[in-house]
Each structure stands twice: as C-alpha cells, then as structure tokens.
Amino acid sequence: MIKSSVGRKMVMAVTGAGMIFFILVHLLGNLTLYSGPAAINAYAYALHRFGPLIWSFRLVMFCMFMLHLFFGIQLTLENRAARPQSYAVRNERATTFAGKSMVWSGLLIGAFLLFHLLQFTLQVINPGIAAASHPDPIGRPDVFTMVVLSFQRLSYALLYIVSLTALALHLYHSIQSSFQTLGLNGERTFPVVTVTGRVAAIMIFLGYAAFPIVIYMGFLR
Amino acid sequence: MDLTLYVWRQSGPGAKGRLEEIEARGITADMSFLEMLDVVNEGLIKTGREPIAFDHDCREGICGMCSQVINGVPHGPQEKTTVCQLHMRRFKDGDRIYIEPWRARAFPVIKDLIVDRSALDRIVQAGGYVSVHTGGVPDANAVLVPKADADTAMDAAECIGCGACVAACPNGSAMLFTAAKVAHLAALPQGRAEAARRVCMMTEAMLKEGFGSCSNHYECQAACPKGIKVKFIAKLNREFIKAQFSKKSE
C-alpha cells in the first residue's frame, strides 16, 4: 500500500487526523490554566501518574509525527520533480496560500514542536522556572508558574503566536484535504467539509493563541 | 484588433525554449483562438519565419488536442471551454497574451506548444478498460444499470483526456484524469469485475509516468473543459481503500 502515492497520502491523512485529535485534547487540558495553579498542577500531576501509559502514548505520537514528516517531504519532492519547467505566467483559480505552503508550515510546526518539548516537557530552556524542580506548596510540579513566567516575556509570546499561525495555515488546508484523501467526501458534503475544516483551524488557533495573549496582557498571574 | 503574443518556442524535445514576442495584427473578434494562430502563422510563413507549432484536431471542443496554457490558465480564460472553442471576443485590442505548452515532466515538449501526452494513454492501458468477449453484440439493456449510476458514469466519461488537469495541478498530477476513468468504470456493473485491479494498476502507472500526487488544490476541477468534478478523486480513493481488502487487486 505504501508503494502507491495514494496509499502514502492516506497514511498522511490518518496520522494527521491522529495529531489533530491530540491537539484538541491538549487544548482541553490547557484550559485548566484558567482555573489557576491548583487546577493545572493537579491535571499535570494526574497525567504523569499514568507512567508507562504516557510513554506508550508518546511513542505512538512520535511514530505518527515521523511518518507524517517523512511522507510529507517525500511526496513534496516527487511533486516538485513532476514539473521541472515552471510556467512564465500562472493564474491560479482554486488553490489557497495555505494549500501551497503546506510543506513550509509543516516544517515550521516541526521546529516549534521541538522547542515546545524542550521548553515545557524537558524544561531545559529556562531551568530557573522548570516545574519539575520547583514544586508548588503541596509538592506537585508547578506547571502554572512555569507557563505564566514564560509567556510574560514578549519574545516567547510572539514565538508561540507565529508558530500557531503556521499550525492554523496547515490545518486550514489539511482538514478538508484529509477527508478528500480518505474518500470521505461527496459532492454534497464537499462545501460543508471545506468550511468546517477552515473554521475549525481558526478556532484551534484562537483557542491556543489566547494563552500567550491572556498571560502577556497580565490577566493571568 | 492588434495583440502582442508571447509564445513558447522550442525547436525540439530537450532543446532549450524561450518566450518569443510575436505581433498579431488584424485579428477579428469572431476568430477562434486557433484561427488567430493560423492567421499569425500565415504572416510568419510569408516573412520567412518558422510558424508556431500547435496541436489541434477536431476544432469543435471534443478531441482534447489543443493543449495551450493561455495567460496562465489551461485552455484560457473561458470556463469549460477548450482552446479551439475560445473566441477572440474574449480579448480586447492591445492585449498581451502569454501562450505556453502544458508543463509536466510526463508531458515532454515535442515542439513549441505541442507536448507528448501519450503518458495518459499508458495509464488507460494499465487498466482503464473492461475486458469483454468478442463475438455477437449483446442485447441492449441485457445488463441492468440504474439510471443514477448511468448518469454518474456518463459524467465521468465526459473526460476527453486533454491533460488540462495535469497542466493546472501545482504537482503535475494526473489524478483527475485517472479518477474520471476509474469512477466511470466503477459505476457500472460491467466495470466492477476488474475494479480492484484497475485502481491499483492505474495509480501505479500514474506514478511511474512521472506525474505528481494529488494534494487537493482542486486547480484541476477549475481548469477542466468538461467540468469533471473532484468528487471522482474521492471515489478513486474509496476504490483504492476497497482494493486493499480485495483479493482481486493482483
């Protein structure tokens, strides 16, 4: 199946859908931030008590990410090679900026993910506020303080908003694209899937971008 | 009207091409785009210059030979129209018109605006057919086909194989073409027997010919002179998934 380009795209659609599902769950979890230190610290503490389960989950996420990345780059290179001589004049009538920049938004998301993991999972970017070594009053890692102190810095807040824009662009095209690739589209559902996918991409962006904005503006401290 | 054309000139396969500026004078609004090129070519021949080589056959919009990208749009600015059915009333005096051949690795330029589209034939040869017994003509309606299925098959069968989908696709993919053939035959009972094998063989042939993969930009649908819909690509994808679970795909 993965010999075929159609099959490889289906792998991309399925792994992409899996990662979108994670993004949604992650957003829901992050909402505990609004309830203050007690809520998010308890949430983070509870998650980590799953132990081996969390590591198998991370392994699955890693495999999905790597498959998506590998096939994405491979297919892009094949597609570029399919048109060695470009047009002098090109007048596009259907595609979007988001659709044409998929590989670049994808690579940006990948780079951001690496930074994000170093910052909030491995906590090596700012060891001075690392939650793992700075427990809250009842001994749980103080995730709240780590996140709030990070986003009080303009550079981090901006970095997150730029990276989230890349994510929004990627999803703007890819949600409808994955439906089409998996053959889940028909003539009647086509406009619904396209619009819903775009709205979802924008909602996810707003949901996530709210954290650095709210914290930088000083509403959460 | 007088126009300035920027035409892709390339002496042969593999040769280095370039856009050449050519004046088109005394063009009337009633000429088709190809007739305009005929008039330009007569002028070029009279002045001892090489005429523009371009493909054409039926000149009534059904053969799919006239493969020209006009001002960046395959088959030009009029929707669902081949170049031969595009008329000069769509342009105005003083316009600058860029004319380029289909650009794809799988469609090598033969000369100027003529490309070799036989890669599409080889995709069809890989499975775009229904095997039948020779002999007596079967009775009409011996195989019952529901009206809705017949309509779907006819919509997909409208494809004339011109290659505009490939020319328009940012990835140079022949997915709309291949999907139209797959969906056409998959909609009919006569086509079901070989459906699993067909979709596997045809998509494999598409890749082997050097076409790119569909990443759902839908430029093909906008460029198709016959209005083939991208819903057929979703249909091809469903057929591909089904084929993975079929023993008949070999």
- Confidence (pLDDT) at B134: 87
Q: What is the mean pLDDT of residues B80-99?
A: 97
Inter-chain contacts counted by CB atoms under 8 A, chains A and B: 131
| E strand or H helix at A130 | none
Degrees, nearest 5: CA angle B108-B111-B117: 40
Is A190 at the interface with chain B, CB within 8 A?
Answer: yes
> Residue B120 and residue B202: Cα distance in Å, rounded?
10
For testing the chain B interface, which of A1, A5, A6 should be mutated: the one with the most B CBs within 10 Å?
A: A6
Class of CATH domain B118-249:
mainly alpha
From the centroid of its chain, how far is CA B167?
8
Chain B nearest CA to A70, separation (Å): 15
**Which residues of chain A neighbour B172 with C-beta distances below 8 Å?**
79, 82-83
In CATH terms, is domain B3-110 a member of 3.40.1410.10? Answer: no
State which H helix or E strand residue B3 sits in: strand B3-9
pLDDT digits over B120-148, tens only?
999 999 999 999 888 888 888 889 999 99
Chain A residues whose beta carbon lies within 8 Å of the beta carbon of residue B217: 92, 94-95, 99-100
What is the structure's pLDDT at A210?
Answer: 98
Q: Under an 8 A CB cutoff, do B105 and A93 touch?
A: no
- How buried is A17 (Cβ within 10 angstroms: 0-12 exposed, 13-18 middle, 19+ buried)? middle
Contacts of A79 in chain B (CB under 8 A): 170-173, 212-213, 215
- What's the pLDDT score for residue B250? 62
What pLDDT, in 10s, does the model give residues B175-221?
Answer: 999 999 999 999 999 999 999 999 999 999 999 999 999 999 999 99
Please list the pLDDT of chain A residue by residue as tens digits (221 residues).
Answer: 778 999 999 999 999 999 999 999 999 999 999 999 999 999 999 998 988 999 999 999 999 999 999 999 999 999 999 999 999 999 999 999 999 999 999 999 999 999 999 999 999 999 999 999 999 999 999 999 999 999 999 999 999 999 999 999 999 999 999 999 999 999 999 999 999 999 999 999 999 999 999 999 999 88
pLDDT at position A221 is 82
Q: Pick the closest to residue B25 from B11, B5, B8, B49 (CA basis).
A: B5
Tell whether the torsion through CA atoms of B89, B90, B93 and B98 is positive or negative. negative
- In sequence order, which residues have a C-beta less than 8 Å from that of residue B64 and are 6 or more positions away? B82, B160, B161, B162, B163, B225
Enumerate the residues of chain B whose CB falls inside 8 A of the CB of residue A89: 69, 71-72, 98, 100
Nearest CB to B104 within list A4, A83, A92: A83
CB contact under 8 A, A82 and B171: yes
**Residue closest to A32 by CA, chosen among A22, A23, A21, A44:** A44
Contact A83 B105 (CB under 8 A): yes
> What value of ipTM does the predicted structure carry?
0.94
Domains B3-110 and B118-249 share a fold: no
Element (H, E) at B183: helix B175-186
Q: What's B249's DSSP letter? A: G
The three state secondary structure string of B51-104 is: CCCCCCCCCCCCCCCCCEEECCEECCCCCCCCHHHCEHHHCCCCCEEEEEECCE
Rg (CA), chain B: 20
Question: In sequence order, what are the residues at sequence separation of 6 or more whose Cβ sits closer than 8 angstroms to the Cβ of residue B165?
Answer: B173, B174, B175, B176, B177, B220, B223, B224, B228
Rg (CA), chain A: 20
pLDDT tens digits, residue range B96-122?
999 999 999 999 999 999 999 999 999
B positions 187-226 inside 8 Å of A (CB): 200, 203-204, 206-207, 210-219, 221-223
Whether residue A177 and residue B215 make contact (CB cut-off 8 A), yes or no, is yes
- Residue A57 CA: distances (Å) to CA of A19, A121, A143: 12, 14, 20
Rounded CA separation B123/B182 (Å): 11
From the list B230, B228, B194, B190, the residue with the least C-alpha distance to B214 is B230
pLDDT greater than 70 at residue B249: no
pLDDT > 90 fraction of chain B, expressed in percent and rounded: 94
Q: Where are the alpha helices (DSSP H) in chain A?
A: 5-30, 37-48, 52-81, 97-100, 102-116, 143-151, 154-181, 189-216
In this prediction, residue A190 carries a pLDDT of 94
Spans of all domains in chain B: 3-110, 118-249
Crossing angle of helices A102-116 and A154-181, in 10° steps, is: 130
| pTM for the model | 0.95
